[in-house]
Amino acid sequence: MGFRGVPGHEFVGSVSEGPRDLLHKRVVGEINFGCGQCENCARDLNRHCPNRSVMGILNTDGAFAEYVAVPAANLHLVPDKVSDEEAVFTEPLAAAFEILEQVQIDPGDQVLVLGDGKLGNLCAQVLRLTGANVTALGKHEDKLKLIKRAGVRTILLNDWKPRSFDIVVDATGSPSGLELALSAVRPRGTLVLKSTIAGNHDVSLAPIVINEITLIGSRCGLFAPALEALEEKSVFVTPLIEKIYRLNDGIEAVKHAARQGARKILLRP
């Protein structure tokens, strides 16, 4: 989006200035700041406000700072049982839970998650909670082991043999993910796109029509189910953390995060 400013949109912090009921409390924050006046905001769709700012992504500074300003309406209290290291995953975990808001998933459904990165891991864990038969497909044995520890079946891409699934979630972050997803979803199945890619897809959309595939874009989600899952320990996020840096070492931390295969890198002010 051509953003220039302070990045960072996954955070936990304590309120040092603001409403009395939030003061000195630990909070996490939704990242879309709607205008509050348009039709979408009136329908409680501020995530899709055409005039929105997105923290650390569009028109407003993010969380890689000692202090950050967030609308009070966007803040959610963090339960005492949830550590800082867990709470910082609320935003991406909410994005994983958004799939359940959009798609009816029943026990026994065959579900495939493409991608073994951080978002793929969270999506696989969340989908497992429905009682569906969840399989994660990825390129990295070490990352697949983390997903398998959460009770999800895993397949290494080199061992992949095409078969059909009721629901396929593309969390690869790769342009090739869509083509693979289309080859794996059954006729009249559902394909959920979680990847946002700054580029063009070169793939035939004919299979969507021929096989009558339901295609769903999925982005940010509600924080309440994510915080509940973290409190109940029904989703495990700390194994995804690779290293925690001081904020003063932020440049080194960003370089680390850019390494191929890096897991979650955290900054601690």
* Residues 207/231, Cβ–Cβ less than 8 Å: no
- Cα 148–128–215 angle (5° rounding)? 110
Q: Among residues of the chain, what percentage have pLDDT more than 70? A: 99
| Token digits of residue 247 | 């904020």
Answer yes or no: is pLDDT of 198 > 70. Answer: no
Answer yes or no: is pLDDT of 40 > 80. Answer: yes
Q: Using one digit for the tens of pLDDT, what is the confidence trace for 200-211?
A: 777 888 889 999
Q: Using one digit for the tens of pLDDT, what is the confidence trace for 16-37?
A: 999 999 999 999 999 999 999 9
* Residues 130/113, Cβ–Cβ less than 8 Å: no
pLDDT of residue 177: 85
Residue 211: other Cβ atoms inside 10 A: 15
pLDDT of residue 149: 92
pLDDT tier at 245 (50, 70, 90 boundaries)? very high
How far apart are alpha carbons 76 and 26 in whole angstroms?
A: 8
Question: pTM of the full predicted structure?
Answer: 0.93
How far apart are alpha carbons 228 and 237 in whole angstroms?
A: 13
Answer yes or no: is pLDDT of 175 > 90. Answer: no
pLDDT of residue 2: 86
Q: Mapped to the 3 state alphabet, what secondary structure does the chain carry? A: CCCCCCCCCCCCEEECCCCCCCECCEEEECCEECCCCCHHHHCCCHHHCCCCEEECCEEECCCCCCCCCCCHHHEEECCCCCCHHHHCCHHHHHHHHHHHHHCCCCCCCEEEEECCCHHHHHHHHHHHCCCCEEEEEECCHHHHHHHHHCCCEEEEHHHCCCCCEEEEEECCCCCHHHHHHHHHEEEEEEEEECCCCCCCCCCCCHHHHHCCCEEEECCCCCHHHHHHHHHHCCCCCHHHEEEEEEHHHHHHHHHHHCCCCCCEEEEEC
* Residues 216/91, Cβ–Cβ less than 8 Å: no
Q: Among residues of the chain, what percentage have pLDDT more than 90? A: 88
Instruction: Work out the average pLDDT over 91-100.
Output: 97
Instruction: Work out the average pLDDT over 93-122.
Output: 96
Domains belonging to the chain, first-starting first, are 13-92+221-268 (3.90.180.10), 105-217 (3.40.50.720)
